[in-house]
Structure 1
Amino acid sequence: MKLKTSARPWRQGMLAAALLLSLGAAQAQSLDELGKSLTPVGAERKGNAAGTIPEWTGGIAKAPAGFNIDKFSTYPFADDKPLYTITAANMEQYKANLTPGQMELMRRYPSYKLNVYTTRRTAAYRQSVYDNAKAEASSVKLVEGGNGVTGIKKSNIPFPIPKSGIEVIWNHIFRDLGGSVTRYSADFPVQSDGSFTAGKRIETISWASYMDNPEPNRILYFMNQITAPANSAGEVALVHEPINQVEEPRLAWQYNPGQRRVIRAPELAYDSPGIGADGLRTNDDLNGYNGAPDRYDWKLVGKKEMIVPYNNAKLADRSLKYTQIIGKTNINPDLLRYELHRVWVVEANLKPGKRHIYAKRVFYVDEDSWAVLHADQYDARGQLWRVREVFGTQIPYVPTFASSGEVLYDLQARRYLVNALTNEEKQPEFGKKYEVSDFSSAALRRMGR
Structure 2
Amino acid sequence: MRYNKNVFLGGLLALSFATSPLYAAVSASEAARLGKDLTPFGSVKAGNEAGTIPAWDGGLTEAPEGYEGTGQHHINPFPEDDVLFTITASNMDQFSDHLSDGVRAMLEIYPTTFKVPVYQSRRTHAVPEWVEENIRKNAVNATIVGQSEGLDGAFGGYPFPILHGNNEQKAWQVMWNHLTRWRGISGTRRTSEVAVQANGDYNLVTSQQEVFFNFYNPEGGQEDLDNVIFYYLSFTQSPPRLAGGAILVHETLNQIISPRNGWGYNAGQRRVRRAPNLGYDSPIAAADNLRTADDTDIFNGAMDRYNWSYKGMKEIYIPYNNYRLSEKGTPYSEILGMSHLNPDLTRWELHRVHIVEADLKEGERHIYAKRRFYVDADSWNTLLVDQYDGRGELWRVTFGMAKNYYELPGVWTTLDVYHDLQARRYHVLGLDTEEPNTRVFTDDVPNKRYFSPASLRRRSVR
Calculate percent identity across the aligned residue pairs. Answer: 43
Distance in 1, matches of 2:290 and 2:44, equals: 36
State the AA in 1 paired with 2:356: V
Contact 2:25 2:142 in 1 (8 A): no
1:92 aligns with 2:104: no
What is the distance in 1 between the residues matched to 2:376 and 2:197?
A: 31
Are positions 1:39 and 2:55 aligned together? no
Deviation for aligned residue 1:299: 0.7
Deviation at 1:385, TM superposition (A): 0.4
Match of 2:349 in 1: 339
CA distance in 2, matches of 1:239, 1:121: 32
Query: What is the SS of the residue equivalent to 2:141?
Result: coil
Counterparts of 2:453 and 2:53, CA distance in 1: 47
- Per the TM alignment, residue 275 of structure 1 is displaced from its structure 2 partner at its CA by 3.7
Q: Is residue 201 from structure 1 mapped to residue 207 from structure 2 by the alignment?
A: yes
Residue 85 of structure 1 contacts residue 114 of structure 1 at CA under 8 Å; is this kept in 2? Answer: yes
Contact 2:265 2:273 in 1 (8 A): yes
Q: Which amino acid aligns with 1:39?
A: T
Superposed CA offset, 1:8-42 (max 9, x none): xxxxxxxxxxxxxxx97974332110111111110
Note if 1:167 corresponds to 2:173: yes
Structure 1 counterpart of 2:139: 137
Question: In structure 2, what is the equivalent of residue 62 of structure 1?
Answer: 62
Alignment of 1:205-224 (within 5 A): 205-211=211-217, 212=219, 214-224=224-234
Q: Between Structure 1 and Structure 2, whose CA radius of gyration is higher?
A: 1
Query: Secondary structure of 1:214's partner?
Result: helix
CA apart distance, 1:250: 0.8
Residue-by-residue CA offset, 1:296-333 (whole Å, 9 max, x unaligned): 11111010000000000111011200011111111100
Residue 183 of structure 2 is aligned to residue 180 of structure 1: no
Kindly provide the amino acid, as one letter, of the partner of residue 379 in structure 1: D
What is aligned with 1:116?
118
CA distance in 2, matches of 1:72, 1:416: 25
1:270 to 257, 280, 285: 280
1:192 aligned to 2:194? no
TM-superposed deviation, 1:366: 0.4
1:181-230 deviation digits (Å, cap 9, x = unpaired): 21211101001110000011122111113445535211111112111111
Change (3 A) 1:37 1:188: same
Partner of 2:434: 424
TM-score by length of 1: 0.92
Task: Output the CA distance in 2 between the equivalents of 1:77 and 1:253.
Answer: 42
| Mapped pair 1:103 → 2:104 | yes
Would you say the 8 A contact 2:414–2:430 is kept in 1? yes
Contact 1:210 1:433 in 2 (8 A): no
Any conservation in 2 of the 1:404–1:422 contact (CA below 8 Å)?
A: no
User: Deviations for 1:316-361, whole angstroms, at most 9, x for unmatched residues?
Assistant: 0112000111111111000000000000000011111111110111
Aligned partners of 2:397 and 2:450: how far apart in 1? 35
Segment of structure 1 superposing worse, 202-211 or 238-247: 202-211
1:430 is paired with a residue whose SS is: strand
Question: Retained in 2: the 8 A contact 1:88–1:106?
Answer: yes
- Distance in 1, matches of 2:323 and 2:312, equals 29
5+ residue gaps, structure 2, are 1-22, 165-169
Pick which of 81-90 and 130-139 moved more. Answer: 130-139
Indicate whether 1:316 and 2:316 are aligned. no
Residues in 2 aligned to 1:390 and 1:428: alpha-carbon distance in whole angstroms: 16
Structure 1 distance, partners of 2:348, 2:48, is 17
Tell me how far apart the structure 2 counterparts of residues 400 and 288 of structure 1 sit (CA, whole Å). 17
Mapped contact 1:365–1:374 kept (Cα < 8 A) = yes
1:443 matched to 2:455? The reply is yes
Most deviating of 113-122 and 257-266: 257-266
Structure 1 residues 54, 195: closer, same or farther in 2, change over 3 A?
same
CA deviation vs aligned residue, 1:66-89 (integer Å, no higher than 9, x gap)? 424587554211111111000000
Aligned AA for 1:28? A
Name the counterpart of 2:289: 279
Cα distance between partner residues in 1 of 2:160 and 2:82: 36
Give the counterpart letter for 2:341 in structure 1. Answer: I
Would you say the 8 A contact 2:99–2:317 is kept in 1? yes
Quick check: 2:196–2:202 contact (8 Å CA) kept in 1? Answer: yes
SS in 2 for 1:101: helix
State how far apart, in whole Å, the 2-side matches of 1:364 and 1:72 are.
Answer: 27
Distance in 2 of aligned mates of 1:241 and 1:148: 12
Give the whole-Å Cα distance in 2 for the aligned partners of 1:210 and 1:29.
26
Q: Deviations over 1:234-281 (max 9, x none)?
A: 111111111111121111111111111010112111110124001111
Between 1:208-217 and 1:306-315, the stretch displaced more is 208-217
Stretches of structure 1 lacking an aligned partner (at least 5 in a row): 1-22
Structure 2 residue matching 1:308: 3-state secondary structure: strand
